[in-house]
Each structure stands twice: as structure tokens, then as C-alpha cells.
A and B are shown apart, each in its own frame.
Chain A
């Protein structure tokens, strides 16, 4: 067992490093689960309303794609359909990032070398990471089951629902164990694992869209692609709808396979090396690189391309799905109400399209945060020190970073509008008109994204050491206010804190210019404050 020497100590180290992250994960999951279960119970209090919900969920292609199949008309089944994908995606991404952070990131930074030179086995680092992440998933699932029971749901179904979500985390722990072996950088390992999550989402969506309604019931039998997706397995457990416990063997099997593969790879490769070798680069820089703008483009273009592909695929599929909204949901008051809540307005299709653009604006907010936080990354890496020792002024450098993030967001937002318009336009036979309409409507969301950029800029300028954690927190608060605020019945004053609240819901609502101008002004003030505070402070690493 010498290959595992030191595993226990390294696991304790991982727990110590991540005590706050893990606590938020393990405690936050049941809290979100409880809040959502309570709100669903309030929205669908009796069998009749739930039957209406299930009818929609099983007939609507949009609901099938973005919520998964409904397992029955029990309150628990509705809760699962409403919460499963959110919690499962969280579990998948948190598990992935945690595994990579405790494996590849240690190798990339050279810490693994230092550890490996002490009495630590070849597999200890990987094993410690797996123990911690699987443990966190199990613990979070246990507490989630208790939260569902606490919300008044039956024990068996609650356990199955929580196990389904924990299973997704466990399955992607296995995936990340492998991707951590493949790339040299932790960024690459994260991207590869996140791409697997995306593929799993698409496979599951395809399987559920192609599925058939069970004869004489409201249950959906998913088609085969769902079975290829770890995200789909959780739905096939059918919590609260005649549980199929054996499905839980699938994520465990994926974990075991992934871990075995990862161990085999770890044994064959050098510490710090990946399966994909590092490529060479040009001996001379192209003239396009030789300025802060050129450098920013060079550093951002890879991530931007990845985002563009994802946005285009989602935009097209959401646009095509928009065609069915009228037919499928028009006779279902509950679903109509839910969409109207998100999108507003009276025309259901318009409300749907507006809601989708709003969703894109929130998601692309994550791009803005990610792109702008490179500033802090460069600062703590020491790259910034070397840059600022050249005649590049602080204002010019930070201004370029903000400009890069904003232009990237502009391109992505435009792409989201155009692809959604194209998908919908092709489905209804008016591509040109719809592309123009939704492309324009998408650009109206930009002031909110400018505010996000301003918030990150101010945090970087004023509180550099806290900027990473605070920036993401602010975006998550905006997301929660936007997506759950109305459902959770928060007061308007709270909702007004998010810039997204103030964007007119075009095409569902009329265009009002004043809030857009106000938001843009707020954004400009925030960005200016960021530039000024950055000019005045030390540059700590």
C-alpha cells in the first residue's frame, strides 16, 4: 500500500484548505433544496394543480429539455422535476472543480513536487482528493434528504432524490479524476470536465425530448440518449415515482471506472506532465500581439471561442423550441404563469423569448466576471508587476481589461440573440425578421452586463484580495434574485438591487429607455471608480 502513504494527512490538508468552500457546498445544498421544496408546495398545493403541472412537463419539449422528465403527480415528484437539474449541475461542477483543485492544480503550481519528495505515495494526492469530494457529496446528499423530509416529503422518495443528486456528483468526481491526468493546466482540466458536463446535459436533453409519454399516465419514458448521460441517470432513479434503486449502481460504476483509469494513467506518467504534450510557439511575436489590447485579445480568445460555441448551440435549440411554446403551453395556465413570471407580458412566445434572453444575460455575466478577474490573477501571479514596470499606465491596462470583457460580452450577447432569432425564425418561417428583432433585443441587456463589469472593476480596485470571492458572490446574488426572487416572493426593494431587474423585458414588454440610460450611467461610474481606486493603491501579490 506504499502508493497510498500519506493519503490521510493530505485529505486533512484538503479539508483545511477548503473548509469554507466545502461548508458552503454541504450546507448550501440542503438549504436551497428546502427553500425550493417549500415554494413548490406553495405553488402546487393539491393534486389538481400538480396534474396540470405534470401535463405541461410531459408534453412541452422545452420543459422536457430544461427540467427533465416528470416521474408522477406526487408533490415530491414535482419538487424533484423543479429542483433536480439545478442541484445536479451544481454537484457536478463543484465536484469537478474540487477534484482538479486538489490534483492538477497542485502539480501545476509545483506543490505536488514538494509533497512528492516527502514520504507521500504516488496515488496519495489523487486518493485524498477523491475521498474528500466523494465524502462531501455523500454528506450533502444526506443533509438534502433530511431537508426534503423536513419539508414534509416521504422518506423513501426524499432519500432517492438526494441520492440521485449525490450520484451525479460522484459520477463527475470519476470524470474529473481522469481529466486531471490529461491536461497540463488545471484550467484545461476544468474545461475538459466542464465540457463533459455540458455534453451530459445535451445528451440528457435529447433523450428526454425524444422520449415518449407513458400510456395512460403522465410519466415520461426517456429515450436511450438519456441513459448515456450521468445527468440522466438521476432522473431515471424516479424518486417519488416508484424508485428504481439499482440505477444508483451506474454513478458508482462510473466512479470506479474513472478512478481505475486515473490510477493507471498516474502510474504511467511523470509528475507535472499531461497526456497532451505542450506545443511550441512562434519565435517572434506577431505585430497584433504587441500592445495591451493585442495581449488581452490573445489571452481571452480561447475562452471566448468556447463560450461562443455553447451560446450558439443553446440559442439555436432554445429558438427552435420557442415554436412549440404557443401550442404546448397555451392551454396550461400554471406553465403560462411560470413563464410570464420570468418573461412578463401577454404574448406567451414573446415572454418565453424574453425569458431566454434574460437567462443568456445572466449566464454571460459569468463570462464578464471570469474575464475581468484575470486582472487579479495577473496581479497575484506577478505578471502584472512586470507589465506595470513598462510604460503602460495602470489606467490604460485596467481600461483595456474592462474593454476586452465588455466587448466579449457584447459579441456573446449579440450571438445569443441572433442564434435564438435564427432558430425561432427558421421554425416559423421568418428568419430575417426574427434575427433582427431578437438580435436587437439581446443588445438591450448590455447595460446590466456593463454594471457587472463595473462591480468587478471596483472590487478589483478597492478590495483586491477579496475581489475574486466577492465578484462571484455578487453575480450569484443577481442570479438568485432574478431566477428565484419572484418565486420566493422577495420584496421589490430586494429585487431592485440586481441590474437585471431593471432591463425592459423586450420583446415581451415595451422598450423603455430611461432604465437603460440609468444602468449605463451607474456602470460608467463604477468603472471610473475602479480605475481611480486601482491608480491609488499598492499592487499586492
Chain B
């Protein structure tokens, strides 16, 4: 049974359709990347999963329950790190961590101290004096020190430095190693590539692509750069080949994965001297889906609400 299963989810704010038939599935034990431009509906989805917002229509199952009706019971089994962490200004970081842990049904104190140490966080400072990154660490430590089945992380590392980012990735691997599932919304594509088993790309309130990174790559073109003894001809006539450009005596082109084999058969006839083939990076996949939001079409659907 899926940890999260969402079908055809719709949520409107006034006249704005923030979620417009969204589908999402997170399987047990996986780290699921949730990608999308600002305002595409990531946080709205997460807030519906947490029972903070009510869905207008669609099916949502979280850990086998209804996120609105069974909120309290479900929250015992999950931990949440918001992207913008706000805490009680007059409580110390240590107090806030213990409070969240206690509300969630107890936390592992040995693990808490170990995490404080690893994330290099001083728990005696008042929350109002923490920087954004340190407030984020408070929420991360509080979440990771709880022994739960699902971790919902909404841009959890947006304030962390690269060193802490590495610690974060190790800790997430440890959690999933122990059998937990993670929904990770993030803009840090390197983080997603390093951690996620599967990703869903959301745009304007619906998921436009979902699958493992390998599957997604299969849908995108591979970039091939080739150098041959004899001048290359007839490339444009081959099916599935695009964007052929000569560069410094070499040729660079893009090919659809299904036509790679035919392309190679064609190339060997010209005596290949050097060849590199690069699968699309996540960034390229990402930009392909975001591309037209950058020029002209604004993606402002309700901000972070």
C-alpha cells in the first residue's frame, strides 16, 4: 500500500485553482522528490496532506488514513519540516525541539543530542536570535529525532550551508535505511538527484511528469558529441535526431533515446574518432518543464498558501 496516494486533487483559493487535478504516489521506503517552480502548488499539497487545508475534491490517502479526518492519529506517525520555520521567540532551541518531540509522542534523547552535535546547533540560544538556517536546523533535529514512518520535508535545506546540506543527506539516507519514507520538496536539484528514488514534477497545480530519474531521462533527449575522420553527412535525414551543430571540427546533436541505436549505426560509417554521450541532467529535465513559465507566463498561483 502506498504511503501517500493522491488522485485528481483540486483546491481553489477564491477564483484561483491552486491544485488542478493533481496525482501523486509515494511508496513505502522511498525518497520521493517533489519538484516545481514557486507557486506551482507544492506547499498547498503538503498542507492538505497535513490536514491544515481542506481539499475541494479528489482522493487523498495518507498512511492509509484520511489526512483531514484522521489528522491526529496520522500525525503520530509522521514528522514535518516546513520551509519557513517560525518558532516561539522566547523559547530556547532545545526547548522547542523537546516540545515538538513530546507532542509527537516522545523523542529519542540520545539521537537528539547526536543530531544537535552533527548539525552543530547550540540549543541554549533563544529562538528569536537564530538565523534562518539555524531555525531550520531546530525543525530538522526535532523531526529526525522522532521515530516515525513518514517524513514530510518542504524545502528543508533552503537555509543550510553546503556542509550542513551534506549532513542532511546522510541523515536522510539513514532514515530510509531504517525503512522510513520521505516526501522531499526541494529546489536543490543536486540534493534531489542524490537522494530521490522517484520524482514528481508539478506545474500549475498538476503533476506533469513522474517516475524514476532513469525513466524521466528516457523521455528526454541525450546529447551526443562526435568527431569522425570523414565529414558527417545525412544526419538531418535520420529519425529522432535534432539540433545538429558543428563545433570545432566536431558535431553536437540531440537524439531521442529510442533512436540512439540507429544513430550509432550511421556514425560508424564515417570512422568515429571520439564520442561522448550525456544523458539529460535533472536540471535540463526541469527546465524543459519550466521553460515556458520563464518567458511570459507567470506561475504565481497563490504564493506559499
**Assembled-state Cα–Cα distance A184/B76 (Å):** 36
A389 and B80 contact, CB distance less than 8 A: yes
Question: From A302, which residue of chain B is reached at the shortest CB distance?
Answer: B90
A299 and B103 contact, CB distance less than 8 A: no
Question: From A292, which residue of chain B is reached at the shortest CB distance?
Answer: B103
**Which B residues are in CB contact (< 8 Å) with A279?**
126
Could you give, for residues 377-412 of chain A, a 1 whenever the CB lies within 8 Å of some chain B CB and a 0 otherwise? 000011101111111111000000000000000000
User: Is there a chain A Cβ closer than 8 Å to B156's Cβ?
Assistant: no
B126 and A278 contact, CB distance less than 8 A: yes
User: Is there a chain A Cβ closer than 8 Å to B82's Cβ?
Assistant: yes
B72 and A391 contact, CB distance less than 8 A: yes
Query: Out of A282, A385, A391, which one reaches B92, CB within 8 Å?
Result: A282
**Which B residues are in CB contact (< 8 Å) with A393?**
71-72
Could you give, for residues 116-156 of chain B, a 1 whenever the CB lies within 8 Å of some chain A CB and a 0 otherwise? 00000001111011000000000100000000000010000
A299 and B88 contact, CB distance less than 8 A: yes
A283 and B53 contact, CB distance less than 8 A: no
User: Is there a chain B Cβ closer than 8 Å to A39's Cβ?
Assistant: no
Given the interface pairs A278-B129, A281-B91, A289-B95, the reply to whether A382 lies near B84 with Cβ below 8 Å is: yes
A382 and B103 contact, CB distance less than 8 A: no
B84 and A184 contact, CB distance less than 8 A: no
- How many residues does chain B have at the interface if contact means C-beta atoms less than 8 Å apart? 45
**Assembled-state Cα–Cα distance A280/B91 (Å):** 9
User: Is there a chain A Cβ closer than 8 Å to B102's Cβ?
Assistant: yes
A539 and B104 contact, CB distance less than 8 A: no
User: Is there a chain A Cβ closer than 8 Å to B94's Cβ?
Assistant: yes
B103 and A284 contact, CB distance less than 8 A: no
User: Is there a chain B Cβ closer than 8 Å to A119's Cβ?
Assistant: no
**Which A residues are in CB contact (< 8 Å) with B99?**
285, 289-290, 295
**Which A residues are in CB contact (< 8 Å) with B217?**
none
Query: Out of A283, A298, A299, which one reaches B124, CB within 8 Å?
Result: A283
Given the interface pairs A185-B128, A285-B95, the reply to whether A391 lies near B103 with Cβ below 8 Å is: yes
**Assembled-state Cα–Cα distance A392/B103 (Å):** 7
**Assembled-state Cα–Cα distance A394/B70 (Å):** 12
User: Is there a chain A Cβ closer than 8 Å to B17's Cβ?
Assistant: no
Question: From B129, which residue of chain A is reached at the shortest CB distance?
Answer: A278
A285 and B94 contact, CB distance less than 8 A: yes
**Which B residues are in CB contact (< 8 Å) with A512?**
none
Could you give, for residues 178-195 of chain A, a 1 whenever the CB lies within 8 Å of some chain B CB and a 0 otherwise? 000000110000000000
User: Is there a chain A Cβ closer than 8 Å to B218's Cβ?
Assistant: no
Question: From B139, which residue of chain A is reached at the shortest CB distance?
Answer: A386
Given the interface pairs A381-B86, A540-B305, the reply to whether A289 lies near B98 with Cβ below 8 Å is: yes
**Which A residues are in CB contact (< 8 Å) with B84?**
382
Q: Measured between C-beta atoms, what is the minimum distance from B100 to chain A in Å?
A: 6
Given the interface pairs A282-B92, A282-B95, A391-B105, the reply to whether A385 lies near B52 with Cβ below 8 Å is: yes
**Which B residues are in CB contact (< 8 Å) with A536?**
54
User: Is there a chain B Cβ closer than 8 Å to A541's Cβ?
Assistant: yes
Interface residues of A in 490-541 (CB under 8 A from B): 536-541
A392 and B98 contact, CB distance less than 8 A: no
- How many residues does chain A have at the interface if contact means C-beta atoms less than 8 Å apart? 37
A291 and B125 contact, CB distance less than 8 A: no
B52 and A388 contact, CB distance less than 8 A: yes
B94 and A281 contact, CB distance less than 8 A: yes
B50 and A282 contact, CB distance less than 8 A: no
B71 and A282 contact, CB distance less than 8 A: no
B100 and A383 contact, CB distance less than 8 A: no
Q: Measured between C-beta atoms, what is the minimum distance from A279 to chain B in Å?
A: 7
Given the interface pairs A281-B124, A385-B82, A540-B305, the reply to whether A390 lies near B88 with Cβ below 8 Å is: no
**Assembled-state Cα–Cα distance A381/B135 (Å):** 14
**Assembled-state Cα–Cα distance A169/B304 (Å):** 40
B75 and A386 contact, CB distance less than 8 A: no
A386 and B82 contact, CB distance less than 8 A: yes
Could you give, for residues 68-83 of chain B, a 1 whenever the CB lies within 8 Å of some chain A CB and a 0 otherwise? 0001110110111010
Could you give, for residues 266-286 of chain A, a 1 whenever the CB lies within 8 Å of some chain B CB and a 0 otherwise? 000000000000111111110
Q: Measured between C-beta atoms, what is the minimum distance from B123 to chain A in Å?
A: 4
Query: Out of A385, A389, A539, which one reaches B75, CB within 8 Å?
Result: A389
User: Is there a chain A Cβ closer than 8 Å to B216's Cβ?
Assistant: no
**Assembled-state Cα–Cα distance A464/B76 (Å):** 27
B75 and A391 contact, CB distance less than 8 A: yes
Question: From A278, which residue of chain B is reached at the shortest CB distance?
Answer: B129
A291 and B126 contact, CB distance less than 8 A: no
A281 and B125 contact, CB distance less than 8 A: yes
Question: From B103, which residue of chain A is reached at the shortest CB distance?
Answer: A390
**Assembled-state Cα–Cα distance A383/B88 (Å):** 7
**Which B residues are in CB contact (< 8 Å) with A540?**
305
A280 and B124 contact, CB distance less than 8 A: yes
Question: From B127, which residue of chain A is reached at the shortest CB distance?
Answer: A281
User: Is there a chain A Cβ closer than 8 Å to B257's Cβ?
Assistant: no
**Which B residues are in CB contact (< 8 Å) with A282?**
92, 94-95, 124
**Assembled-state Cα–Cα distance A295/B305 (Å):** 26
Query: Out of B53, B72, B95, which one reaches A539, CB within 8 Å?
Result: B53
**Which B residues are in CB contact (< 8 Å) with A299?**
88, 90
Question: From A291, which residue of chain B is reached at the shortest CB distance?
Answer: B102
A383 and B86 contact, CB distance less than 8 A: yes
User: Is there a chain A Cβ closer than 8 Å to B51's Cβ?
Assistant: yes
Question: From A185, which residue of chain B is reached at the shortest CB distance?
Answer: B89
Instruction: Give the most central of B91, B99, B126: most A CB within 10 Å.
Output: B99
**Which A residues are in CB contact (< 8 Å) with B76?**
391
**Assembled-state Cα–Cα distance A383/B91 (Å):** 12
Given the interface pairs A386-B139, A539-B52, the reply to whether A392 lies near B72 with Cβ below 8 Å is: yes
Question: From B86, which residue of chain A is reached at the shortest CB distance?
Answer: A382
Instruction: Give the most central of A184, A386, A540: most B CB within 10 Å.
Output: A386
Instruction: Give the most central of A279, A281, A388, A393: most B CB within 10 Å.
Output: A281
Could you give, for residues 418-455 of chain A, a 1 whenever the CB lies within 8 Å of some chain B CB and a 0 otherwise? 00000000000000000000000000000000000000
A283 and B52 contact, CB distance less than 8 A: no
Q: Measured between C-beta atoms, what is the minimum distance from B288 to chain A in Å?
A: 33
**Assembled-state Cα–Cα distance A285/B94 (Å):** 6
A283 and B86 contact, CB distance less than 8 A: no
Interface residues of A in 273-323 (CB under 8 A from B): 278-285, 289-292, 295, 298-299, 302
Question: From B87, which residue of chain A is reached at the shortest CB distance?
Answer: A383
Query: Out of A302, A385, A386, which one reaches B100, CB within 8 Å?
Result: A386
B103 and A278 contact, CB distance less than 8 A: no
B50 and A389 contact, CB distance less than 8 A: yes
Given the interface pairs A290-B98, A295-B99, A391-B105, the reply to whether A538 lies near B52 with Cβ below 8 Å is: yes
Given the interface pairs A383-B88, A385-B52, A386-B86, the reply to whether A290 lies near B102 with Cβ below 8 Å is: yes
Query: Out of B72, B73, B80, B123, which one reaches A386, CB within 8 Å?
Result: B80
User: Is there a chain A Cβ closer than 8 Å to B285's Cβ?
Assistant: no
**Assembled-state Cα–Cα distance A280/B92 (Å):** 7
Could you give, for residues 281-301 of chain B, a 1 whenever the CB lies within 8 Å of some chain A CB and a 0 otherwise? 000000000000000000000
A283 and B94 contact, CB distance less than 8 A: yes
**Which A residues are in CB contact (< 8 Å) with B124?**
280-283
Q: Measured between C-beta atoms, what is the minimum distance from A373 to chain B in Å?
A: 16
Q: Which 6 A-B pairs have the closest CB atoms?
A: A281-B92, A285-B98, A290-B102, A389-B80, A390-B103, A382-B86
A-B contact pairs, 21 of them (CB 8 A): A278-B126, A279-B126, A280-B92, A280-B124, A280-B125, A282-B94, A285-B97, A291-B103, A295-B88, A299-B88, A385-B52, A385-B82, A388-B71, A388-B75, A389-B52, A390-B75, A392-B72, A392-B103, A393-B71, A536-B54, A538-B52
- Residues of A near any B CB (own CB < 8 A): 184-185, 278-285, 289-292, 295, 298-299, 302, 381-383, 385-394, 536-541
12 other A-B residue contacts (CB within 8 Å) besides A382-B82, A391-B103? A281-B90, A281-B93, A281-B125, A283-B123, A285-B95, A285-B99, A290-B103, A291-B102, A292-B103, A382-B86, A538-B53, A538-B54
